[in-house]
Structure 1
Amino acid sequence: MSKGSYRKLLIQFITFNLVGLLNTAIDFFMFTFLVWAGTYYLAAQVIAYGAGMINSFVLNSRYTFGKGKNDLKDSKPQQFKTGVRFIVWNGILLGITLVLLAAFTEWWGLSELVSKLIVTVITVALNFYGSKKWVFTGKRPQTGSS
């Protein structure tokens, strides 16, 4: 990997994690509030995750994996495909999160918040890898010259 490629990857990873910190804050705030308010913890997780997911899509598509101001905008079909991949990937991550939350809470007897912390650490790396390699691939259809 060239120095420039490594630098770009590092900047993407840092930006992804800064966006992720905000997503996590939104997710944790919502989750904590909903559990405190008496919402079943798995339902609270779905709602809280959805709030963080919306923030994640907007900020990561624009700042982390975006092409920059001087590049052409994605076509509507490309935006749609990215949106679908984002929803599918986050649905998979939500499933993993729910299974792990239930395992740590129900089977291992940890509190909901401790379980949430552990699961968050586990899913950060998975999320970056899938977002970079599949969701925000930046692949554009080839067009022929006229």
Structure 2
Amino acid sequence: MPDKAWSAGFIQFLKFNAVGLLNTLVDFAVFTLLHSIGVYTTPAQIISYSAGTANSFFWNKKVTFRDRGSVSADSFDRLQLVRFIVLNLIVMGISVLLIHLLTDSLGIQVLIAKVLVTFITVIINFFGSRKWVFR
């Protein structure tokens, strides 16, 4: 029988991935919609990434990294929000740069570039969230 710490960590990992999938779906849906109506790639990426990020903060705070030591489940940690915003601004900047490089310099189709960049940004965001934002 696995120990409780391992089980709790594994469950947290599963929750993070479920929330991440939902964030990615929100991001891709908004990006695809904006791109299909003619919004340029960079503004579409910024808006779609922001929509996924807002979704991420809400669900990761409430479900994945729920602070069991807080006075209330609805308590608000401003420093945590600032860390979250800083991390996601950095990751968004990386994503915009990489999409630009892949599409303009390498000629990769924009939605394929978006998928490739998402693999990179998910890894950065996971470690940043776990080790810095929701520690």
- TM-score (structure 2 length as normaliser): 0.91
Q: Give the equivalent residue in structure 1 for 2:56.
A: 56
Aligned residue pair count:
134
Secondary structure at the counterpart of residue 77 of structure 2: helix
Q: Give the equivalent residue in structure 1 for 2:72.
A: 73
| 8 Å contact kept, 1:13–1:128 | no
Q: Give the equivalent residue in structure 1 for 2:110.
A: 112
Deviations 1:86-143 (A, max 9, x none): 1000001001111111111111110110000001111111111100110011xxxxxx
Deviations 1:23-79 (A, max 9, x none): 1111101000101100001110000011111111000001000124x8523897x61
| 8 Å contact kept, 2:80–2:134 | yes
Aligned counterparts of 2:54 and 2:22: Cα–Cα separation in 1: 11
Kindly report the root-mean-square deviation, in angstroms, between the aligned alpha carbons of the 2 structures: 2.0
Q: Give the equivalent residue in structure 2 for 1:125.
A: 123
Aligned sequence identity (%): 43
Aligned counterparts of 1:74 and 1:20: Cα–Cα separation in 2: 21
**Structure 1 runs of 4+ with >6 Å offset:** none
- TM-score (structure 1 length as normaliser): 0.84
Aligned counterparts of 2:54 and 2:12: Cα–Cα separation in 1: 19
Asked which structure has the greater CA Rg, the reply is 1
Q: Give the equivalent residue in structure 2 for 1:13.
A: 13
Q: Which amino acid aligns with 1:12?
A: Q
The correspondence of residues 131-146 of structure 1 with structure 2, limited to 5 A, is 131-137=129-135
Q: Give the equivalent residue in structure 1 for 2:94.
A: 96
Secondary structure at the counterpart of residue 39 of structure 2: coil
